[in-house]
Structure formats: C-alpha cells, structure tokens
Amino acid sequence: MTPPLIAVLNGPNLNLLGMREPEKYGHSTLDDVEALCAETAEELGLAIDFRQTNGEGELVTWVQECRGRAAGIIINPAGYTTTSIALLDSLLAVGLPVIEVHITNIHRREEFRHHSYVSKAATGVIAGLGVEGYALALRAMAGLVAPAADEDDQDDEA
Ligand code: CA2
C-alpha cells in the first residue's frame, strides 16, 4: 500500500535556519529539519513532500496542489502567519487536516506575532518546542490520517 503523503511546507526566511539567530531558532539547518521529518515519517509509515519558499503566492499554490494528492499538511507559515488571508483561504479550501508549527513560542514574543490567521484552518498548533515540533506534528498527523477501523473490522474482533 502507498504510504499517505504529508506536505511539510515552510514559509519565508526559514531557509536561513541554523545560519542566523541561533539563540532564537537553534542550530539545526532546514536540511536537518527535512532529515528529521524524513526519518520520523519513515518510522510512522508516512511519505513527505518537504518544501520551503519565500513567496506567498507559491505557498498558496502548493497548498492548492495538495488537493487530491496529500493526506495532510504540516505548515510553518513563518512571517505569513500573521498577515496572509490568502494562505488561510487556501488551507480552508483544501479541506485537509492541517497542523501549524512554530519553532519558537510565538506567544512569548512580540505582540504582533501572537495572532495567527493560519490557526483558523489548523486542526492543531505546536509552538515553542524547537524543530522537534515538526516530528511531533508528524506523530499527531499519523493519528489524524490513519484509516478508522470500520464496523466490519470491529464485528470481526467481537
Ligand atoms: O517560530 C517560528 O517558527 C516562526 O514561524 C518563525 C518566523 C517568525 O516570523 C514567526 O513569528 C515564528 C521567522 C522565520 C525566519 O526564520 C529565520 C531563521 C533563522 C534566521 C533568521 C530567520
């Protein structure tokens, strides 16, 4: 059976991870985060499509392309978290489970980082646990996309 595909989408400036401001964002690079996600996904029987863009339109297009292709979306929208109604609309339209991830605890930071449009479309939000938040999101997503046991199966067990 083909493993369910989870899109792991990263917004603007996350390509700088591990290269600038390590006191805030840690020492892992985005390549390290992709390796962590790939390893965790394999353990969980999931496939991932891991991407980063600095463009809002590109991020919206990638979300739209998840329709009929992916089983769920994990997204760190970075700077578009607090600004992008277009990104929110695309996430609502695609109708898939969405987990929003932030490396830092946005609620302990500047006031302008506290409000997230993306959270309106998110099944769950993970913030402040560093890059480990991506692995935790994949674990939660595995539960969300697991096929529910149907009634026949339950009858078989009885
Ligand atoms: O904590 C997070 O993951 C954020 O989504 C990161 C965003 C920030 O705008 C959000 O409020 C919280 C910033 C991403 C930029 O990443 C950098 C990484 C290293 C160096 C500079 C920027």
Residue 118 CB neighbour total at 10 angstroms: 21
Q: pLDDT of 107-133, one tens digit each?
A: 999 999 999 999 999 999 999 999 999
- Measured CA to CA, the distance from residue 114 to residue 128 in angstroms comes to 12
Chain Cα centroid distance, residue 30: 14
Rounded to two decimals, what is the model's pTM?
0.94
pLDDT given for residue 79 in this prediction: 98
Ligand 1: residue whose CA is nearest its atom 20: 20
In what helix (H) or strand (E) does residue 10 lie, and over which residues does it extend? strand 5-10
CA angle 126, 11, 79 (to 5 degrees): 80
Residue 1 CA to residue 158 CA, distance in Å, equals 26
Q: How far apart are the CA of 77 and the centre of ligand 1, in A?
A: 9
Which atom belonging to ligand 1 lies closest to the Cα atom of 13? Answer: 15
β partners of residue 150 = none
Helix (H, G, I), strand (E, B) or coil at 150: coil
CB distance 48 to 121 below 8 Å? no
Q: Which of 25, 80, 117, 134 is the catalytic position?
A: 25
Q: 23-49: per-residue pLDDT in tens? A: 999 999 999 999 999 999 999 999 999
